[in-house]
Amino acid sequence: MLNKITALPSAVKQYLLITSNYWFFTLTDGALRMLVLLHFHHLGYGPLAIAMLFLFYEIFGVITNLVGGWLGARIGLNKTMNMGLFTQVIALLMLTVPEQYLTVLWVMLAQALSGIAKDLNKMSAKSSIKALVPSGDNTQYQTGLFRWVAYLTGSKNALKGLGFFLGAFLLNTVGFSVAMQIMASVLAIILLISLIFLQGDLGKAKQKVKFKQIFSNHASLNYLAGARLFLFAARDIWFVVALPIYLVSSLGWQHTNVGLFMALWVIAYGIVQGLTPKFFVKNNQHNINGSLLFIWGVILSSVTLVLALLMFYATKLNFSAESVLIVGLFIFGGVFAVNSALHSYVIVAMAKEDGVSMDVGFYYMANALGRLLGTVMSGVIYQLTNLITCLIISAIFAVLSAFLIKRISIAPPKI
């Protein structure tokens, strides 16, 4: 097995190392979110207060994507990825303090570091693919790019789902503080391996990039970023705070069951993302364009609206609201996964070759803004109304995303 790995091309070995980094980081990220959410709900915090715990996580994610893209182009993606791993270790260790010191402000600061870490790691991983995909004719290159992006993104989300379950499991078995210690120790080992083996010049721009270049003047990229913002707001407005609290408080689920359900949902969503190229690449060709992305955005909005209506009329129709929600959310997850995979491919395909992290960082800044908007609204809307309202607003956000992405122009790669 070791001989086979050693014999692989350098680009493939680097891709595997970056993917492994991303996987282990994602496990801790998913587990941390579930640990914080369930632990503080158990301590009596309301939906809005829990949403505020994640506020700095999302705000600093926005800032990190902008600055991180510029930094990656200046110093190399290997350094920004390792900086992300190191910062996450610090964030986890901050939460190992005795419970009396786990104030809201302290947790928000730890979450701020975790948000910085997550987006440094994510931006580095996504940007590096552009540099690592083996060059060839346009057909081979674009096909490889689509598949590598989909596999990385899909596997990451499957692992994030496992992280949700891991977080709930660790909370029920070893407790909050010990769980943080375990995850920090594992991630420190991954950081050491990355420092030794990750190439030093990955993604570094050939020309010196200026800080003002972090903002895109490319119209299609701006529309794509706007579409990504509303796409992820459409997910997080019900997913981050409203859903897990609804499952615990309204349906009476145990913490482990909540973690298991959310884990299975994200794992299934990740699997569909990874398989997305199989749906769109036929005879080594695809026709991914704004119109196709618009159609999938409208499908997502329609699925969400139907789910909200079925939840509202469940009693009158003699349906089980619990069953409707579970089935509906898995359908939403599948459609959302296709949308997300297509979006993720398009940004990497559109990004300029030299200093790719600048465009990718700008795009994922919009992604982080969408998560921020969704997270805050998830707590506020659920506390003021209910889960159905969250789903209705989710449908509105999804259709806004669809209309924005319809306006992009992709140089159509004839794959």
Comparing 236 with 413, the larger pLDDT belongs to 236
Of 110 and 74, the structure prediction assigns the larger pLDDT to: 110
- Answer whether 130's CB lies under 8 Å from 351's CB: yes
Cα–Cα distances in angstroms (integers) from residue 70 to residues 60, 141, 226, in the given order: 15, 25, 20
b/e map of 357-373 (b: 16 or more CB within 10 Å)? bbbbbbbbbbbbbbbbb
In this predicted structure, what is the pLDDT of residue 246? 92
Give long-range contacts, CB 8 A cutoff, 24+ apart: 380-389: 380/48, 380/51, 381/237, 381/242, 382/47, 382/241, 382/242, 382/245, 382/246, 383/46, 383/47, 383/48, 387/238, 387/242, 387/243, 387/246, 387/250, 387/311, 387/325, 388/308, 388/311, 388/312
Q: Residue 17: pLDDT band by 50, 70, 90 thresholds?
A: confident
What pLDDT sits at residue 373? Answer: 92
198 phi and psi angles, rounded to 5 deg: -80, 135
> How crowded is residue 126: how many other Cβ atoms within 10 Å of its Cβ?
26
What is the average per-residue pLDDT within 206-226?
68
Minimum mean pLDDT range among 7-11, 12-16, 59-63, 189-193: 7-11
Does the structure show a pLDDT above 70 at 214? no
| pLDDT recorded at residue 353 | 62
Architecture of domain 10-204+215-405: Up-down Bundle (1.20)
pLDDT at 74: 75
Return the pLDDT at 147.
Answer: 77
Who has greater pLDDT, 45 or 330?
Answer: 330
Residue 282 pLDDT class (50, 70, 90 cuts):
low
* Residue 415: per-residue pLDDT: 37
What's residue 202's pLDDT? 63
Least confident of 5-19, 70-84, 113-127, 371-385: 5-19
* Rounded Cα–Cα distance for residues 166 and 32 (Å): 9
Residue with tokens 């207060």: 49
Instruction: Determine which helix (DSSP H) or strand (DSSP E) holds 64, and give its type and residue range.
Output: helix 55-75
| Tokens describing residue 228 | 């990504």
Cα–Cα distances in angstroms (integers) from residue 271 to residues 162, 236, 337, in the given order: 12, 19, 9
What is the tens place of the pLDDT at every residue in 111-170?
A: 999 989 988 888 887 777 766 665 554 556 667 677 777 887 788 778 888 888 899 889
- Check whether 8 has a pLDDT greater than 80: no
- Residue 380: which H helix or E strand, with range? helix 356-384
User: Do residues 150 and 29 lie in contact, with contact meaning Cβ atoms separated by under 8 Å?
Assistant: no
Digit-coded pLDDT (tens) for 257-267 = 887 888 889 88
Lowest mean pLDDT, pick from 18-32, 212-226, 372-386 = 212-226
Average pLDDT over residues 39-43: 84
Mean pLDDT of 272-286: 76
**Dihedral of the alpha carbons of 249, 253, 258, 260, in degrees to the nearest 10:** 180
Nearest to 377 by CA among 160, 119, 52: 52
Ordered by start, the domain boundaries in the chain are 10-204+215-405
In 3D, which of 150, 301, 292 has the Cα closest to residue 230? 301
Please tell me whether residue 60 adopts helix, strand or coil conformation: helix
pLDDT at 413: 37
Mean residue pLDDT across the chain: 83
Round to whole Å and give the CA distance between 366 and 357. 14
Segment 67-76 shows an average pLDDT of: 74
According to the model, what pLDDT value does residue 122 have?
81
Q: Which stretch, 93-97, 98-102, 222-226, 372-376, has highest mean pLDDT? A: 93-97
